[in-house]
A = this chain, B = another copy of it.
Amino acid sequence: MTDGPEAATPSTHLLRRLNADRVLGEVWDGEPVTASGLMAATGLSRSTVLALCRELTERGWLVELDDARAAGSYTKGRPALRYAFRPDAALVVGVDAGQHRVSAAVADLHGRVLAEEAVHLDPASDAGARRDAVRGAVDAAVARTGRSGADVAAAVVGVPAPVEAAGVPSGERNPFWARMNPGLGDLLADRGWDAVVENDANLAAVAEAEHGGGAAAYAALLVGERFGAGVVLDGALRRGPRGAIGEMRILDLVEGVGSSDGLGALARDEARRALARGDGEPSTLARVPAARLDAAHVLAAADDGDPLALRVRERLADRLSRVCAVLAGLLDLDRVIVTGAMAPALGAVVERARALLPGHLHDPAVEIVVSDLGPEVVRAGAVRMAVDHVRSHALDRDLAGVGPVGA
């Protein structure tokens, strides 16, 4: 990349690259390391490790800390050089481009959010307005870090639509999808960043990766207006050729479900309908204007013991348990993580759904849990994926001179 001998002996360089990658992986998320530590971790010899560290330092990925035995792990003898990963060597951008809200974050290479910006957006906005919103939010967030856009290495945008393998929008299939992803990838790639557009549920799944524990098979289930799942099998996100794995239109065919409407939509509609019917049963929900009644009201009322709300909640639990049963039954999942903006309010619903599960699955090995990542799951997943992208392409890139030099 700089001026090293270019591919004189391709095969042997491969080996070097493999080892460099291992070392980088070792430091990326961890504490500063000494050469001896790396020797133990990688099985390489001291000379090799030192050479690799020198190279990675020159390339801008590591800094040499000279604070000697500051780590305090030992007292005698010569203090070791310590190499530390530079999480601020580059920036990443993560965006949740939702239907009525765009939220952007700029993070360092540890995924720590340094700045954020959110803007509201009319769900009916046209392509141009949507692009402007994304551009605006991203630029504002980057500006707020006090660093240059040139320091950004990669950006990931989540959209509420399937995204085909190569990041190509599947717009021809569905005009709604096209509107949700009006060339957002190119928009960011024009900045000179590596840009990826990804489905929102898939990003939620990425965000839940740690939370998913050691689970090699799980789904992140977005439950708001429509159901949508991001599916991880054998430890990796599965998209499908059309990006449609976890698309839940098929719920139309499932008994007791009948549509892909999410729990938010269902709660609202059921409650409104029951109130409109006026079964005579008194409900505190009757005091809320029908047009403003939403899932949050219903769930709160249920917590207060309101009978109508309790009936609706039971319906939600039933539907959720069936959706989880279909997902887990076919995909042999260890876990379904209920996530999205309304997830925190769904404790009781999930608990009840868990209880209903054995009625639908012969051998329910799946565990339904509520995400604790809060409303910015998708954005967090976008940041995470951007970091992973940089990580996996790290050795193709030279950072020397980019960003602040200090640790």
A residues lining the B interface (CB < 8 Å): 10-12, 14-15, 18-19, 43-44, 48, 173-174, 216-217, 233-234, 236, 238-250, 252-256, 322, 325-327, 329-334, 360-363, 365
Q: Which residues of B contact A325 (CB under 8 A)?
A: 250, 253
Q: How many copies does the complex hold?
A: 2
Given A173-B363, A244-B332, A254-B254; A238-B234 close (CB under 8 Å): yes
CA distance A243 to B234 in the complex (A): 12
Name the residue in A236, A241, A255, A365 with the highest tally of chain B Cβ atoms < 10 Å from its Cβ: A241
In the complex, are the beta carbons of A365 and B233 less than 8 A apart?
no
Closest residue of B by beta carbon distance from A12: B15
Within 8 Å by CB of A240, from B10, B48, B217, B246, lies: B217
In the complex, are the beta carbons of A249 and B332 less than 8 A apart?
no
In the complex, are the beta carbons of B250 and A240 less than 8 A apart?
no
In the complex, are the beta carbons of B19 and A253 less than 8 A apart?
no
Closest 3 CB pairs of A and B: A240-B332, A250-B329, A244-B332
Nearest-Cβ distance from residue A336 to partner chain B, whole angstroms:
13
In the complex, are the beta carbons of B332 and A242 less than 8 A apart?
yes
In the complex, are the beta carbons of A253 and B256 less than 8 A apart?
yes
Q: Which residues of B contact A11 (CB under 8 A)?
A: 15, 19, 44, 48
CA distance A326 to B327 in the complex (A): 10
Known contacts A10-B43, A253-B325; 4 further A-B pairs (Cβ under 8 A):
A242-B332, A249-B362, A253-B329, A254-B254
Q: Which residues of B contact A256 (CB under 8 A)?
A: 253
CA distance A361 to B253 in the complex (A): 9
In the complex, are the beta carbons of A334 and B241 less than 8 A apart?
yes
Q: Which residues of B contact A243 (CB under 8 A)?
A: 332
CA distance A25 to B363 in the complex (A): 41
Q: Which residues of B contact A330 (CB under 8 A)?
A: 245-248, 250, 326-327, 330-331
Nearest-Cβ distance from residue A6 to partner chain B, whole angstroms:
15
In the complex, are the beta carbons of B253 and A326 less than 8 A apart?
yes
Given A217-B241, A331-B245; A326-B250 close (CB under 8 Å): yes
Nearest-Cβ distance from residue A12 to partner chain B, whole angstroms:
7
CA distance A244 to B329 in the complex (A): 8
Q: Which residues of B contact A12 (CB under 8 A)?
A: 15
Q: Which residues of B contact A244 (CB under 8 A)?
A: 332
Q: Which residues of B contact A174 (CB under 8 A)?
A: 363
Within 8 Å by CB of A329, from B249, B333, B365, lies: B249
In the complex, are the beta carbons of A253 and B250 less than 8 A apart?
no
CA distance A175 to B373 in the complex (A): 41
